[in-house]
Amino acid sequence: MNKKVTTSSLMKMKQEGKRITALTAYDYPFAALVDRAGIDLILVGDSVGMAVQGWDTTLPVTMDEMIYHTKLVTRACKRSLVVGDMPFMSYQSGLDKAVENAGRFLKEAGATAVKLEGGADVCPAISAMAKAGIPVQAHIGLTPQSVHQMGGFKVQRDEEQLLKDARDVQAAGAFSVVLEGIPASIAQKITQALTIPTIGIGAGPSCDGQILVLHDMLGMHDGFIPKFVKKYVDISALANQGLAEYIKEVQDGSFPSQDHSYK
């Protein structure tokens, strides 16, 4: 349980039929909670743009912001494998730039691996990074950085294309692949067809592992929650209750009491 998770241990989990647990995290306190809970993989997702920065998409997130958040997370993690998510335009405009940016996640931020979105188009980048010794997690299906090209955050249903993308990223050297927003039956076929672990989000129960955005599954906001998310707690409701109590007690003078004052 306390041994650091590696890309090889994730591969072994797939071979042994053990489900991989994954969540996002973006800062030290939450990464510490997630790591201590025993989650296998923490993704410092570019979903930070929507979950933390208040944007409508992940597109505005920058490399420097991702490095900053990844540093906060790796500082907290003793066991979980940390993956840094490559933001929009950090790997699309040339292989040298892609490898250089991927390297920053390992060299400056202490991540073990990086993730990028796409199928055949990003295979040259996956290969170049793998050749440089950087483990790469691929991400196919609903790829949020292509939201405008897809015409919205839409479930992807082209089975032939998805199977091809999955096989291509594996052949290019990815150690794992995220399957997002695809029918459960297609995710099952992909999972059976690949030797690398599949990590699903909105892709049904047959994937080798599951990932959710931490802020969604802990109920840290009152905004839109997609169908595939299960809210395990409602932190937002607890916070609202605590905040209302604090306001009332400050206003009526019952806080601070003797217990919270120095003699």
List, by residue number, the catalytic residues.
180
Report the number of secondary-structure helices (H) and strands (E) in the chain.
11, 8
Stretch that binds ligand KIV, among 5-13, 29-37, 38-46, 220-228 (CB under 6 A): 38-46
Stretch that binds ligand KIV, among 11-19, 27-35, 39-47, 220-228 (CB under 6 A): 39-47
Site residues (CB under 6 A) for ligand KIV, limited to 41-60? 43, 45-47
CB of 253 to ligand KIV, least distance (A): 44
> Tokens representing 161?
């294309």
Site residues (CB under 6 A) for ligand KIV, limited to 130-149? 139
214 binds ligand KIV (CB under 6 A): no
d(CA 80, CA 83): 9
CB of 187 to ligand KIV, least distance (A): 13
> Tokens representing 257?
């009491």
Closest CA to 34 of 66, 85, 82: 82
> Tokens representing 31?
């990464």
182, with CB counted inside 10 A (0-12, 13-18, 19+), is: buried
Q: From start to end of 195-240, where are the E strands?
A: 198-201, 209-212
CB of 4 to ligand KIV, least distance (A): 22
User: For ligand KIV, which is the closer residue by CB, 57 or 255?
Assistant: 57
CB of 49 to ligand KIV, least distance (A): 8
- For 54-91, give the DSSP string: --SSSTT--HHHHHHHHHHHHHH-SSSEEEEEPPTTSS
213 binds ligand KIV (CB under 6 A): yes
Q: Which of 178, 194, 217, 218 binds ligand KIV (CB under 6 A)?
A: 178
User: For ligand KIV, which is the closer residue by CB, 128 or 179?
Assistant: 179
Residue numbers at the binding site for ligand KIV (CB under 6 A): 24, 43, 45-47, 85, 139, 178, 180, 201, 211, 213
